[in-house]
Structure 1
Amino acid sequence: METDFDIVVIGSGPGGYTAAIRAAQLGYKTAIIEKYHTLGGTCTNVGCIPAKALLDSTEHYHQALSKFQLHGIQLSELHINFTQLINRKEQVVKQNTSGLDYLMKKNNIQVVRGVASFQSNKQVKVTGENNSETTLSSKYFIIATGSKPATIRGVALDKKRIISSTEALSLKTKPDSIIIIGGGVIGVEMASIYARIGVAVTIIEYMDSLIPSMDRELGKELKKILAKTGVTILLTHKVQSVVNNGNHVVVNYLDTTDTPYETRADYCLVAVGRNPYTKGLGLENTQIELDEKGRIKTDKQLRTAEENIYAIGDVINGPMLAHKAEEDAVFVAETINGQKPHLNYLLVPNVVYTWPEVASVGYTEEELKKDNIAYRVGKFPFQASGRARAAMDTEGFVKVLSEPKYGELLGVHIIGPRAADLIAQPVTGMHYEITDEDMFRMSYAHPTYAEAIKEACLIASGQGSINI
Structure 2
Amino acid sequence: MAMTSLARRRATSLFNSSILRGSAFSRSFASGSDDNDVVVIGGGPGGYVAAIKAAQLGLKTTCIEKRGALGGTCLNVGCIPSKALLHSSHMYHEAVHAFPNHGVKFSQLEVDLPAMMAQKDKAVSGLTRGIEGLFKKNKVNYVKGYGKFAAPNEISVETLEGGNTVIKGKNIIIATGSDVKSLPGVTIDEKKIVSSTGALALSEIPKKLVVIGAGYIGLEMGSVWGRLGSEVTVVEFASDIVPTMDGEVRKQFQRMLEKQKMKFMLKTKVVGVDTSGSAVKLTLEPAAGGEQTTLEADVVLVSAGRTPFTAGLGLDAIGVETDKLGRIPVDHQFMTNVKGVYAIGDVIPGPMLAHKAEEDGVACVEFIAGKEGHVDYDLVPGVVYTHPEVASVGKTEEQVKAAGVAYRVGKFPFMANSRAKAIDDAEGLVKILAEKETDKILGVHIMAPNAGELIHEAVLAMQYGASSEDIARTCHAHPTMSEAVKEAAMATYDKPIHM
TM over 0.5, yes or no?
A: yes
Q: Are 2:416 and 1:416 equivalent residues in the alignment?
A: no
Q: Are 2:202 and 1:147 equivalent residues in the alignment?
A: no
Q: Which amino acid is 1:373 matched to?
A: V
- Which residue in 1 is equivalent to 2:466? 434
Which one of 345, 348, 355 corresponds to residue 323 of structure 1? 355
Say which is worse superposed, 222-231 or 255-264, in terms of deviation.
255-264
Matched ranges for 1:246-395 at <5 A: 246-255=277-286, 258-395=290-427
Q: Contact conserved, 1:288 with 1:297, CA < 8 A, in 2?
A: no
Q: Contact conserved, 2:390 with 2:451, CA < 8 A, in 1?
A: yes
Report how far residue 270 of structure 1 moved. 0.5
- Which residue in 2 is equivalent to 1:110? 141
State how far apart, in whole Å, the 1-side matches of 2:159 and 2:456 are. 41
Q: Are 2:191 and 1:160 equivalent residues in the alignment?
A: yes
Report how far residue 162 of structure 1 moved. 1.1
Report how far residue 131 of structure 1 moved. 4.2
Report how far residue 140 of structure 1 moved. 0.6
Q: Are 2:438 and 1:397 equivalent residues in the alignment?
A: no
Q: Contact conserved, 1:162 with 1:268, CA < 8 A, in 2?
A: yes
TM-score, normalisation: structure 1: 0.97
State how far apart, in whole Å, the 1-side matches of 2:236 and 2:58 are. 48
Percent identity of paired positions between Structure 1 and Structure 2: 46
- Which residue in 1 is equivalent to 2:60? 29
Equivalent pairs, count: 465
Which one of 124, 129, 142 corresponds to residue 93 of structure 1? 124
Report how far residue 163 of structure 1 moved. 1.0
Q: Contact conserved, 1:146 with 1:277, CA < 8 A, in 2?
A: yes
- Which residue in 2 is equivalent to 1:123? 154
- Which residue in 2 is equivalent to 1:62? 93
Q: Are 2:108 and 1:77 equivalent residues in the alignment?
A: yes
State how far apart, in whole Å, the 2-side matches of 1:180 and 1:204 are. 6
- Which residue in 2 is equivalent to 1:5? 36
State how far apart, in whole Å, the 2-side matches of 1:46 and 1:322 are. 13
State how far apart, in whole Å, the 2-side matches of 1:154 and 1:198 are. 29
Q: Deviations over 1:260-302 (max 9, x none)?
A: 1101111110001000000000111212100111001111111
- Which residue in 2 is equivalent to 1:235? 266
Report how far residue 367 of structure 1 moved. 1.1
Structure 1, unaligned stretches of length 5 or more? none
- Which residue in 1 is equivalent to 2:245? 214
- Which residue in 1 is equivalent to 2:80? 49
Q: Which amino acid is 1:352 matched to?
A: V
Q: What SS does structure 1 have at the residue aligned with 2:310?
A: coil
- Which residue in 1 is equivalent to 2:476? 444
Q: Contact conserved, 2:406 with 2:437, CA < 8 A, in 1?
A: no
State how far apart, in whole Å, the 2-side matches of 1:257 and 1:131 are. 51
State how far apart, in whole Å, the 1-side matches of 2:198 and 2:376 are. 34
Q: Deviations over 1:278-332 (max 9, x none)?
A: 0000111212100111001111111101221110000100000000000000000
Report how far residue 70 of structure 1 moved. 0.6
Q: Contact conserved, 1:33 with 1:115, CA < 8 A, in 2?
A: yes
State how far apart, in whole Å, the 2-side matches of 1:331 and 1:221 are. 37
State how far apart, in whole Å, the 1-side matches of 2:497 and 2:131 are. 46
Q: Contact conserved, 1:210 with 1:222, CA < 8 A, in 2?
A: no
Runs of 4+ in 1 over 6 A off after TM superposition: none
Q: What SS does structure 2 have at the residue aligned with 1:423?
A: helix
Report how far residue 228 of structure 1 moved. 1.3
Q: CA RMSD in A?
A: 1.2
Q: What SS does structure 2 have at the residue aligned with 1:180?
A: strand
State how far apart, in whole Å, the 2-side matches of 1:183 and 1:292 are. 24
Q: What SS does structure 1 have at the residue aligned with 2:392?
A: strand
Q: Which amino acid is 2:433 matched to?
A: L
Report how far residue 116 of structure 1 moved. 0.6
Report how far residue 246 of structure 1 moved. 4.5
Say which is worse superposed, 248-257 or 57-66, in terms of deviation.
248-257
Q: What SS does structure 1 have at the residue aligned with 2:325?
A: coil
State how far apart, in whole Å, the 2-side matches of 1:257 and 1:167 are. 31
State how far apart, in whole Å, the 1-side matches of 2:439 and 2:191 are. 53
Structure 2, unaligned stretches of length 5 or more? 1-33
Report how far residue 50 of structure 1 moved. 0.1
Q: What SS does structure 2 have at the residue aligned with 1:114?
A: strand
Which one of 131, 134, 137 corresponds to residue 165 of structure 2? 134
Report how far residue 257 of structure 1 moved. 6.0
State how far apart, in whole Å, the 2-side matches of 1:169 and 1:466 are. 44
Residues 282 and 257 from structure 1, CA distance in 2 versus in 1: closer, same or farther, beyond 3 angstroms? closer
State how far apart, in whole Å, the 1-side matches of 2:426 and 2:252 are. 12
Report how far residue 341 of structure 1 moved. 2.2
State how far apart, in whole Å, the 2-side matches of 1:219 and 1:76 are. 38
- Which residue in 2 is equivalent to 1:18? 49
State how far apart, in whole Å, the 1-side matches of 2:473 and 2:314 are. 55
Q: Contact conserved, 1:62 with 1:196, CA < 8 A, in 2?
A: yes
Q: Contact conserved, 2:68 with 2:160, CA < 8 A, in 1?
A: no
State how far apart, in whole Å, the 1-side matches of 2:183 and 2:133 are. 39
State how far apart, in whole Å, the 2-side matches of 1:241 and 1:128 are. 40
State how far apart, in whole Å, the 2-side matches of 1:219 and 1:405 are. 27
TM-score, normalisation: structure 2: 0.91
